[in-house]
Chains A and B, each alone.
Chain A
Amino acid sequence: ETGVTQTPRHLVMGMTNKKSLKCEQHLGHNAMYWYKQSAKKPLELMFVYNFKEQTENNSVPSRFSPECPNSSHLFLHLHTLQPEDSALYLCASSQLTGVEQYFGPGTRLTVT
């Protein structure tokens, strides 16, 4: 595997479910990001991790819980989501300067 991978690519979940999105980067980067892209809206930055430490939480509701166990892996734990949380969730990584961010293909999430 090369670049940034995300699993699953598609996820349908009910509002009472708990699920997790996984991101893995094979680029040796030390910063990782979660973005959300709702239909017809710009990408919204959710979280930033530098060297496994969270450095940015862009006022994200607590039903989204990120986890960064090491510099190569990033998770987004989901629980009691709302239908308006349906979106494309994108993971990215970069060197610490963040000049060039590499994005994964995204997870298309539908909350029913």
Chain B
Amino acid sequence: DAKTTQPPSMDCAEGRAANLPCNHSTISGNEYVYWYRQIHSQGPQYIIHGLKNNETNEMASLIITEDRKSSTLILPHATLRDTAVYYCIVRSLIYGGATNKLIFGTGTLLAVQP
């Protein structure tokens, strides 16, 4: 699976959009970009995933560059409860066997400020 690079920390003002970048320059054609977050001392929570088109759900939007070498997770109106470590993960979507695993990096600690 391709390696990802994220800034270790970011701040965001409450109510503003939080834009979290992720670099995955070695991504291959069958690899998806996943985002999870982990609020302090809780289990990680799935946010969104995508292949090459931009995706949006009730939690966030995912913008993937045309060359797929980087992506941005957007929380449109950050709240204090969005303070968490955000993980960008790249992996292929292969069914079954030992390949349905996620490799977590160190992520970005997003601190939403009041």
A contact residues vs B (CB 8 Å cutoff)? 4, 31, 33, 42-43, 45, 48, 50, 55-56, 88, 90, 92, 94, 96-106, 108
Contacts and interface: CB of A to CB of B under 8 A. Distances in A.
A55 B98 contact: yes
B43 A92 contact: yes
Interface of B: 32, 34, 41-46, 49, 93, 95-107
Contact of B102 (A45, A55, A96, A108): A45
B96 A33 contact: no
Given A98-B101, A106-B43, 7 more contacts: A42-B106, A48-B98, A92-B43, A92-B44, A98-B102, A105-B42, A108-B41
Of the listed residues A98, A100, A103, the one surrounded by the most CB atoms of chain B closer than 10 A to its CB is A98
A68 B85 CA distance: 30
Contacts of A90: 43-44
A45 B103 contact: yes
Contacts of A50: 96-97, 100
B100 to A, nearest CB: 3
A104 B32 CA distance: 24
B100 A94 contact: yes
19 contacts: A4-B43, A42-B104, A42-B106, A43-B44, A45-B101, A45-B102, A45-B103, A48-B98, A56-B101, A92-B44, A96-B95, A96-B96, A96-B100, A97-B100, A98-B100, A98-B101, A101-B46, A104-B43, A108-B41
Contact of A105 (B43, B95, B97, B101): B43
Given A42-B104, A45-B102, A103 B97 contact: no
